[in-house]
Amino acid sequence: MNIKETSIKKQYSQEELIKRVRSLPVLIHGNELPSDYWILGVQSKANIPDKFDDLFYLFNGDKLENIANGTTNAGLAGLKSYEQFNKSGIAVIKTEEFYFNLWSYGLHRNKMPALRQIHPIKFYRDTNRDKTPDEKGQLFNQVIGINFHTVFYDFTEQELKNDIFRPNIGQWSAGCQVINHVRMYYEILNKVRHQDAVSYCLIKEF
């Protein structure tokens, strides 16, 4: 489990993460954790602008299998110049939520193997052009192309042998959930790609 960078201070145990997820209202009120593969995003409290400082955890049921760093927020390109992505504002995904069957295997922008959004996700629109993604204002619940992907479009077998990272988020996320470790990303993708759908949970660092 190669983690390039993160501002999250604590190394969570499998049990701590599952306990935290099970405390979410949607799971308290009668829903069960998926019995197959699902992904947990943990958003850093620091939220360093334009940095991949969050973590993604791949679970199979309640068993942790992989960890990778990435971002659950848009980069500065989207926060500062959101019009190039959406005139209504940059998408900021609502945390402390479990999104059942959110993604299925497909292509991001028709050229990168990815998990593509197939069910609604809750999000806000940030329009104040500062460096911080804000969970404020009107809450939406729609399918808007919030995909799960990585930071490199060339996915040939030779390239996948390399550890490829990006120093900054840039335009790699305008709301998408993005892993900043190409080889680890494809390890995860190859495990989940044959499922009909993949669930996602997004929480804040705790």
DSSP 14: H
Distance of alpha carbon 137 from alpha carbon 124, whole angstroms = 7
- Would 2 be classed as within a structural domain? no
- Residues 33, 150, 22, CA angle at the centre, nearest 5°? 15
Tens-level pLDDT at each residue, the chain (206 residues) = 446 678 887 899 999 999 999 999 999 988 999 999 999 999 999 999 999 999 999 999 999 999 999 999 999 999 999 999 999 999 999 999 999 999 999 999 988 999 999 999 999 999 999 999 999 999 999 999 999 999 998 766 555 666 889 999 999 999 999 999 999 999 999 999 999 999 999 999 99
**200, 117 Cβ separation under 8 angstroms:** no
Structure tokens at 58: 């791949």
Q: Is 4 part of any domain?
A: no
Domain of 62? 14-204
How many structural domains is the chain composed of? 1
Distance (Å, whole) CA 80 – CA 147: 21
Here the tokens at position 46 are 């620091």
* Assigned domain for 8 exists: no
Kindly state whether residue 6 falls inside one of the protein's structural domains.
no
